[in-house]
Amino acid sequence: MSDIQKPKPPFPDQQQQQTPGRTAPMTPQPDHGEKSYRGSGRLAGKAAIITGGDSGIGRAVAIAYAREGADVLIAYLDEDEDARETARWVEEAGRKAVLLSGDIKDPAHCKEIVERAAREFGRLDVLVNNAAYQMTYPSIEDISDEEWDKTFDTNIGAMFRITRAAMKHMKSGAAIINTTSINADKPNPGLLAYAATKGAIQNFTAGLAQMLAEKNIRVNCVAPGPIWTPLIPSTMPQEKVEQFGSQVPMKRPGQPAELAVAYVMLASDEASYISGATIAVTGGAPIL
């Protein structure tokens, strides 16, 4: 799909009440690389965990990883239909897909994700901490203690716990890839709690990369700009959805497929000297 063909705002009214949202009602439908991604064996024989792997960025990464030769555990909240569709694409690529639903705010479930992957695959080479929660609020007075804690528990607390559990299974050459955001560098005031967690994720990534360097386990993060995923119509007011992506120089949101190459590169052995980095995929908006 050329740049000319990629969807640009304005987008039609499509509010979703459920969070984190579903793919089927979206207009236009996101592109996860179903028809475009071509693998070349860069992750052959590897096993990966992808949290939030049912839709959006997570689905695009799962499809790319499978086509590059990796088996994938797809961890997700409760979006069973989306998760089954992602698994179908993984299996169509000839790789093993394991689905595991549950709430990553629960520390026991964080451990279960890792242990299930280790049992199913017999190894763990790549951990993609991608699951996230956000909600838009116009004022700090509108953000409850419960909302603040939910955002932090989902976005950074679970990342810490899943990564900690993964350590006993990850060997030299393994890779951890965390999804941060352009909000880590340019926080959107309407996404105050979410943006704060994304700054924490970038800091966590940089510190952990130094901590694990002697074990030859690499830790990096990807910082997406505005990406067309179910989170958008389910967490933003319609006026924001209608113009979503217009604020970046490319004047459009990115498609999930446009991020997959960054996650593949960071997971591959070719990236053996890249650790502690942030890869910006932002439609031209600089992260300095």
Within a domain: residue 20? Answer: no
Looking at the domain assignment, is residue 40 inside a domain? no
CA dihedral 288, 276, 162, 37 (to 10 degrees): 80
Tens digits of residue pLDDT in 197-210: 999 999 999 999 99
Q: What is the mean pLDDT of the chain?
A: 95
Given this model, what pLDDT does residue 283 score? 96
pLDDT band with cut points at 50, 70 and 90 for residue 169: very high
Greatest extent of the chain over all pairs of C-alpha atoms, in Å: 51
Tens digits of residue pLDDT in 38-68: 999 999 999 999 999 999 999 999 999 999 9
Digit-coded pLDDT (tens) for 74-87: 999 999 999 999 99
Write the Ramachandran bin of 266: left for phi over 0, alpha for psi from -120 to 50, otherwise beta: alpha
Asked whether the predicted pLDDT for residue 215 surpasses 80, the reply is yes
Question: Helices H, strands E: what count in the chain?
Answer: 9, 7
Asked if residue 230 is part of any domain, the answer here is yes
Q: Is residue 7 part of a domain?
A: no
> pLDDT at residue 193 above 90?
yes
Position 245 pLDDT exceeds 60:
yes
Structural domain includes residue 154: yes
- Which listed residue (65, 76, 133, 194) is catalytic? 194
**Residue 97 to residue 62: CA distance in whole angstroms:** 9
If one compares 11 and 3, the residue with the highest pLDDT of the two is 11
45 closest CA partner among 239, 237, 267: 267
User: Residue 8 phi/psi, 5° resolution?
Assistant: -125, 155
Give the pLDDT score at 4. Answer: 57
Going by pLDDT thresholds of 50, 70 and 90, the confidence category of residue 36 is very high
Looking at the domain assignment, is residue 16 inside a domain?
no
CATH number at residue 176: 3.40.50.720
Range of the domain at 273: 47-281
pLDDT exceeds cutoff 60 at 3: no
Residue 21 in any domain: the answer is no
Tell me, yes or no, if 133 is annotated catalytic: no
- The pair of three-digit structure tokens given for residue 28, joined into one six-digit string: 């236009």
Number of domains the chain contains: 1
- In a domain, residue 189? The reply is yes
The pTM for the full model equals: 0.95
What's the gap between Cα 245 and its chain centre?
A: 18
